[in-house]
Every structure is written in C-alpha cells, then in structure tokens.
Amino acid sequence: MLEYTDTHQLRVYYEDTDAGGIVYYANYLKFFERARTEYLRKCGINQSEFLEQNIGFVVRKIEMDNLASAKLDDLLIVTSKICQLKGASLVFEQQISTESQGLLCTAKVRIACVNLALAKPCAIPEIILGALKRVS
C-alpha cells in the first residue's frame, strides 16, 4: 500500500458553475483528473513522455459521491492517494473539500495502463512503478 497523499488546490471559476453559481457535477471529474496528474508529476512521472511511447492511463471505473456543493470562488482542496497498485492498473482514492464546508465529494477511480497503438491494456512500466514506490 502506498502512503503518499498529495494535496492540490484550485479555485472555482465562473466557467465551472451553472447559472446559480454551483459547480456542475461533471466538473468534479475534471478537478480529480487534474489532481491525479499533479500527483504523478510530483512523483516524477511526466505523462507526455509515455504518450510518445504509446503508453497512456485511462479511467476504467469511477465511483463518485457528491455530498455538498462547491460554489463560485471557493478554494478547493483535492487530496489524492493510491490505495491499490497492480501490474496493469491502480486505484486512487480522492476527496474534494473546502476549509469552510469540509468534505464535498469523494471518488474511487480505477486507472488502467494502455498500449495506445494496440488499444489494449498493458503492464505499467517499471520506471513508473519504481517512481510510485519511492514516494510511499
């Protein structure tokens, strides 16, 4: 089990909200995606380098629970942690919260490693596994 938990902050902009100033639910998926990307970046994993080798990460499954609404101008705190790491997939547990409202949304996201040229699952490269294990 990996111990590293990353925190990423982002501001809610007008474009993220509906007419009432409430974050549209699908935008939480974007916020989670950004936080996962930053998690990997902080582990020393640059996804664009692997894309050049036809290796990518795709969302296989997501379970999301919306508990409260984020609003225009809120400063969101997105926490991310890998709770499962297998040969060709990993699972992130993520949360979005604010200091004033507390927990807003949770997600459990299964990510598959894919050979993009073949459009098939493949083993996570050893260099990525090593980088993830170093931060734990």
Q: Is 65 a catalytic residue?
A: no
- As a whole number of angstroms, the distance between CA 105 and CA 107 comes to 7
The active-site residue, picked from 16, 18, 65, 74, is 18
Structure tokens at 13: 């902009």
Across 90-122, b (16+ Cβ under 10 Å) vs e yields: bbbebbbbbeeeeebbbbebbbbbbeeeeeeeb
Q: Which residues are catalytic?
A: 18
